[in-house]
Structure 1
């Protein structure tokens, strides 16, 4: 592997290859779109917090078990997991490089996937099986 010092001249020159342009654009757009969708779903989250404040488990299961609430909540969990993975990727790219970066990114992806599957599974269980 050759050691190239990256300077402002290399970055400013559009003929140099600095990163993967398509992947970077996809990452940028995904981060902005998931952020916007999270803002839209904020109303659902606020409704759930206000509606379920002080309620017992039976009421929570009844509200989240409704398809009108549970299915959008499951979609929200998936979108938040994608947004979380991309946000952590930004931080990891700044501080880690090489094989350590690859390993930590794999662990980041695995963690976000486990969180998403557990959350979605729990909500869908309430929606379809009470």
Structure 2
């Protein structure tokens, strides 16, 4: 049985309560934003259906559409990183935990970075 002193000590593997609360709130906020951004994404996909490449580029070059796409991918990545972090903590042991979290964080940085660069390329260079 775990005693109260172990749970209240921030240096134990249970972590900080403030950090967990921040992640909980962030995940709920990104989840709500995902609903709104999914509506935008559905509009975007329907708008692009059957369009030629030049028309697609013109639509993505619109600053509001480009901003929506960037917000969508960043929001989804943050939400995914927090969710995967919870799964990793729950189902992997300490040794596997660190490597899996490093891979999770790298993926959550790499994918949005590449996507933002792709959107920027379309916006600035067509």
Same fold (TM over 0.5): yes
Unaligned runs of 5+ in 2: 9-13
Q: What are the within-5 Å matches in structure 2 for residues 1-130 of structure 1? A: 5-6=1-2, 10=3, 16-17=7-8, 18-130=14-126
- Report the number of matched residues: 121
In 1, distance between residues paired with 2:116 and 2:7?
43
TM-score of the superposition, structure 1-length normalised?
0.84
Following superposition, which runs of at least 4 residues in structure 1 exceed 3 angstroms of deviation? 13-16
Unaligned runs of 5+ in 1: none
TM-score of the superposition, structure 2-length normalised?
0.86
In 2, distance between residues paired with 1:66 and 1:76?
15
